Amino acid sequence: MSESAAGRVNTSLRVEVFPTRELAEKAVADEISALLRAKPTAVLGLATGNTPVGVYRELIRRCAAREVSFARATFFNLDEFCGLGPADPTTFRAWMRTNFVDLVDVDVRRVHIPDGAGDASARARCALDYERAIGDAGGIDLQLLGIGRNGHIGFNEPGSARDSRTRIVELHPWTREDQASGFGGLAHVPTHAITMGVATILDARRLVVMAFGEKKRELVERTLATKDDPAWPASFVHGHRAARLVVSADAAPR
Ligand code: F6R
């Protein structure tokens, strides 16, 4: 691993470059495992998508080997699509169950995923309840993040404010495009989602932003070159007191 204390903007973000994606994933799994050993009741903020799958795979392996336990932990996911039924296989809820939740020892009563079903007033209530539930759980100890093609974190699309909270958002055309294959075509991708806000994310005690693969290099470079700019929501992580940007060599800034 090589480390550099600063990107192009003045930042306290720790940038860590690993030779391979697997080594980077192990390092993130190490941080989560250490957190759970120190605090078995830790509250983890989780993400879906391609970026965190290897971390989940490693944590599943460690859990099966009894090297780590989620039995007393609490999970809060970043986001969920609107308008899908609870049994719909394309929800992030279903994705989380298949890729992580059902494969570790977490108590499902402590797994929280925002609910995008229901009408507008039900969703608005759900957003408020989600913020309250995070507070009631004592706040998020560690939040995992990936970076979207347009710089989004969670589904905080360009234009999201620093002080935004859990809310309903309209998905950016690129975000919908990137989800199209999972929905059998763009026409079937929901237009709206519910997401933790930027402020909700920044309230987490630690952030781990991950980016792997050549396609993410430009996104990493832009994140390092931009600070506190709603046009590039990932740029808000510079203001966080304990944030790591964990990248594989092929995603590292040149
Ligand atoms: C996922 C999420 C998104 C993704 C981002 C990157 O819950 O909130 O912000 O982290 O779109 O997606 P991948 O990892 O698929 O490249």
Burial call 145-177: b when 16+ CB within 10 Å, e when fewer: bbbbebbbbbbbbeebebebbbbbbebbeebbe
Report the nearest-CA residue for atom 11 of ligand 1: 148
Q: pLDDT value at position 6?
A: 45
| pLDDT of 98 above 80 | yes
Q: pLDDT value at position 2?
A: 46
Q: pLDDT value at position 220?
A: 98
Q: pLDDT value at position 86?
A: 85
Å from CA of 229 to ligand 1 middle = 19
Taking residues 135-160, report their average pLDDT. Answer: 98
Q: pLDDT value at position 5?
A: 43
**Has 79 been annotated as catalytic?**
yes
Report the nearest-CA residue for atom 2 of ligand 1: 154
Q: pLDDT value at position 8?
A: 78
Q: pLDDT tens-digit profile of 37-57? A: 999 999 999 999 999 999 999
Report the nearest-CA residue for atom 5 of ligand 1: 148
Q: pLDDT tens-digit profile of 102-118? A: 999 999 999 999 999 98
Q: pLDDT tens-digit profile of 166-175? A: 999 999 999 9
152 Cβ inside 6 Å of ligand 1: yes
